[in-house]
Amino acid sequence: MLLPLTVLFATAALVCGLPHLKYQDAQCGYQACPATDPSKLNVHLIPHSHDDLGWLQTVDKYYYKQVQYVISTVVEALEMNPNRRQVFIQVETAFFHYWWQFQDEDTRNLVKKLINEGRLEVINGGWSMNDEATTHYQSTIDQFTFGHLWLQETFGECGLTKTGWQIDPFGHSREQASIYAQMGFDSFFIMRFDYRDKGKRKNEKTLDLLWRGSDNLASDTNIFTSGFSEDTYAWPNNLCFDMSCDKHVVTDERSTEFNLRQIINDFMGIINERSQHYPTNNLFITMGDDVHYQGAHKGFISIDRIIDGFKQYNPTLDDGRELNVFYSTPSCYTKAVHDSVVRENITLSYKTDDFLPLVTTDFSGCWTGFFTSRPTSKRLERVSNNVLQATKQLVALAGFPREETYHLEDAVGIMQHHDAMPGTELQDVEKDYHRRMHAGIMDSVKIISRALTSLLGLESDIDLHYCPFANISICAETKKDKFRVLLYNPLGVAVDHYVQLPIDAASWTVTDPEGVTVKNSIYSPVRNFQYMADDLGRPFSDSVIMFKADNLPPLGYKVYTVEKTAAKAEHADPTPTEYSVGDELRAGFQNNYIVLDTDTGLVDRMAINGFEMKVTPRIMFYYSDWSSGAYMFKPNGSHRDPVDFGDRVESKIKSSPVSVEIKQEWRDWGIITFRIYPDTDYIEVDWVAGPIDVGDGQGRDVIIRYDTDLETNGFFYTDSNSRELMERKRNFRPTFEFTDGEPQAGNYYPVTSRIVMKDVDKGVEFAIITDRAEGGSSLSDGQLELMVHRALLRDEFSNEHLYEMEYGTGLVARGSHYITFGPTKSEDSRSAAFIQRDIAVKKHQTPLILFPLGDVPDGPVSFLREELPVNVRLLTLQKWKDEENKYLLRLEHFLEKNDDEELSKEVTVDVQGLFPKLNIVSLEERTLNGVTRLEEAERLQWPQTRASNFGKRVERDPADLKITLAPMQIRTFIATVG
């Protein structure tokens, strides 16, 4: 019986055998590329296998049933033909790593040899081929770092790549281009993008282009990008020569099966057509498909015969040019195009926006549903990442081995896969992703417990526990009359946090580390989750306690004590206000409140920090069309507009000194709870959707719509993977003509953290920060909507429709929106943009809520000497090289250059003594993925642009421990600790 992968691959591979070779000593990278002929059309044949880390099967099933045979037979076939220029590209590092664990020393040495010769070339190199629409940049960077570090440690410099290969994600984000450029990549290959854009580029011969990945980081984020001319990465047309295809290349002219001449003629038709769409004398053709090359010999033999056939028959193009046909890789294609551009002084098309959303037909082809599909998976990934960041920090601070974080890094890295984060996998595959993340989280809690025990110098483990079901009122640790709560803050700044914990109905007191009583409030759960508790066989709590944990120290913790008491606690101000004037009811606090229309029960206005504006949120749904599935969003053609649950709703108000709650239950499967706090820059919208009623045979897409009186002129803004804001305009695309076959779905964009509207004349901004990726839009001026849940009755590519089941019924999803608004520029020197980004950062990495059963000092305890500047994020702190006492440190200036007059300026952080547990003595700057010294990072330069040297501050003394950050800049260092 095979053990689960999470057990089999728990330890990193030992690197032994062949020594690592430097690029100059090996024939890998561009040095391994075949010669091109400037007088001919150079046809690059690229053998590859696309291996999904889960989709229709789980990761384990794909690996054991198919992928292991792909890698094994490719290696065997390449070694059998050392004199031929056969090549293959290996993409998904997770699978490559898994396969490596089971190979003997001879096989490992053979693979190293093939990589050093450039015959087996690693492309992309991330743990997975990540999604680009729904992923957060921190997780994307991490999964590349995880993959690239293993490749470098295992294969040396020849194991690293400079090529992005994103051939299956459903659209492409600008931040992905920026990340590639900051990692030192030269190129980015894409396949799926809008059919109107692709058609225009084909006609204009601009499928090869330069793409600027950032408005803030100048030309350093330019990257060569090549788009596929066809909507497939498979073998060309029907010319498939894999073992799974019933097609063969027969070269014996005496045979009745002879077909080489016909195959060459068929190839010529393909080459003639495709070559018209590219600007140089280079064309690439992919030779592979999903899990192809399980019997690699047939594929390579067939390609050998095709290449020989072109030499034998020497056909010419319609324009008379001869052909040079050969094995190649995406890297070699990039180098060939670059040489042609330089030689012939060609100016490539220049792009500054993104390739989202993906639309493949004018009707029924908007791939915008996956922005929301499987919302609980999207949330679990955020939770997993939060635990992972805290674990990496504490493992580093405690000096534990790097491999301690492997399980959760593996699970989160897999989750970035382009069928995992989008939610386009089958449900049993989704459950497997959940299993991996849950196991990784629970292991990490034990590691955090050991790390804190060590850092605090305690002899006995503090025995931390975690409640993964606290959001549905299930937590064994709080079913006691007295318990302690340890709140660990993973950010580099102190934070305030409103804590919610399930408890039994009673009077309770909360005390802080100094023994001071903290005011609290008791609420009912947002809905009845008893049936979930029954299904899990766990005790359910009928109440929720809320209290404010203020000033949680940076990279540190506080412990609070919660105890049942007979007497009701008395609390001081602030006191909530609740009063009626005419047909209005105001509820909240002096500066933060909501005004209800007492006739309809709807919210009419909101105020934050004393600034009041008209805002009306409501939960609604679209009837879905038959063609709507996990990938695509298409409202029913006969009823396109969203359906209101009604024009009235009952509002139930619960007031306390901690917060004021206004609960609106539109249906038992559509509930909104507004939560107003006295001192925050936001009002929370706690939403619950599901089980969605599809009893009438129609699928539904649930949205929350926010109506305001802002004049927005069709413009709104969405974040690119939670980094820079992208300007959107309704019914418009910057680089091609928009057609409105799908006026709703065609205007949807991914919202990974933030969607914004601006009234330029009023100087007011309205923003919503999300707790996971969701689809969103502004379909009317002054209006935003976010899709929060989906229940559909079909799927585009499988027989399983998107109606998720949990606990014996349809899925219930719970989440939060954080509404913030106010003047674009504020008198208190905090701009609206800074407030929005500050909320987004703090809601992305929230304090971990843990329960110590052992003795632990109450704190406050901080493992940071002082707070970081308010505009700086500690993006990464992790162990790097155990034996060399090296650590990876990333700092980020999280504002854009025009966000704030003061806070968008450069900022300097001195890390000398910053981490009392780590005596940093030197810093070596690296590319974003951490594996290449920045001063050694060479990128292809394109004649039409000039590098700004913005990111190359390389003339630095390693002993200089001051780090200066410009807006949106992430700087990565290897810190040596003395």
Residue 699 makes CB contacts below 8 A (sequence gap 6+) with: 623, 624, 628, 790, 791, 792, 793, 794, 801, 802, 803
Task: Give the burial string for 134-169 (b: 16+ CB within 10 Å, else e).
Answer: bbbbbbbbbbbbbbbbbbbbbbbbbbbbbbbbbbbb
Q: Which two tokens stand for residue 942?
A: 């394109």
| Segment (H or E) for 415 | helix 406-415
3-state secondary structure of 278: coil
For residues 134 and 127, the answer to whether their CB atoms sit within 8 Å is no
Residue type, 814: R
Residue type, 371: F
**DSSP, residue by residue, 757-784:** EEETTTTEEEEEEESS-EEEE-SSTTEE
In whole angstroms, what is the distance from residue 162 CA to residue 467 CA? 42
Angle between helices 260-274 and 296-313 (to 10 degrees): 80
Q: Which two tokens stand for residue 544?
A: 């929720």
Quick count: other Cβ atoms within 10 Å of Cβ 318? 11
In whole angstroms, what is the distance from residue 852 CA to residue 464 CA? 4
In whole angstroms, what is the distance from residue 437 CA to residue 443 CA? 10
Residue tagged active-site, from 51, 131, 168, 410: 168
Beta strands in 520-610 (DSSP E): 520-523, 543-552, 556-565, 577-581, 584-588, 593-597, 603-608
Quick count: other Cβ atoms within 10 Å of Cβ 444? 27
3-state secondary structure of 75: helix
For residues 919 and 978, the answer to whether their CB atoms sit within 8 Å is yes
List the one residue out of 95, 111, 118, 119 whose CA is nearest residue 16: 111
For residues 602 and 616, the answer to whether their CB atoms sit within 8 Å is yes
**Residues paired with residue 872 on neighbouring β-strands, in sequence order:** 893
| Segment (H or E) for 381 | helix 375-398
Percentages (nearest 5) of helix, strand, coil residues in the chain: 25, 30, 45
**Residues paired with residue 464 on neighbouring β-strands, in sequence order:** 852
For residues 796 and 631, the answer to whether their CB atoms sit within 8 Å is yes
In degrees, rounded to 5, the angle at the alpha carbon of residue 129 between the alpha carbons of residues 124 and 134 is 130
Residue type, 42: N
**DSSP, residue by residue, 304-324:** HHHHHHHHHH--B-TTS-BEE
In whole angstroms, what is the distance from residue 570 CA to residue 575 CA? 12
Angle between helices 105-116 and 137-155 (to 10 degrees): 110
In whole angstroms, what is the distance from residue 188 CA to residue 166 CA? 7
Max Cα–Cα distance, the chain, nearest Å:
100
Quick count: other Cβ atoms within 10 Å of Cβ 465? 17
> In whole angstroms, how large is the CA radius of gyration of the chain?
29
For residues 768 and 819, the answer to whether their CB atoms sit within 8 Å is yes
- Is 168 a catalytic site residue? yes
Question: Which backbone phi and psi does 441 adopt, to 5 degrees?
Answer: -65, -50
Q: Which two tokens stand for residue 973?
A: 């260092």
In whole angstroms, what is the distance from residue 598 CA to residue 648 CA? 10
Residue 542 makes CB contacts below 8 A (sequence gap 6+) with: 473, 504, 505, 524, 525
In whole angstroms, what is the distance from residue 124 CA to residue 151 CA? 11
Catalytic residues: 168
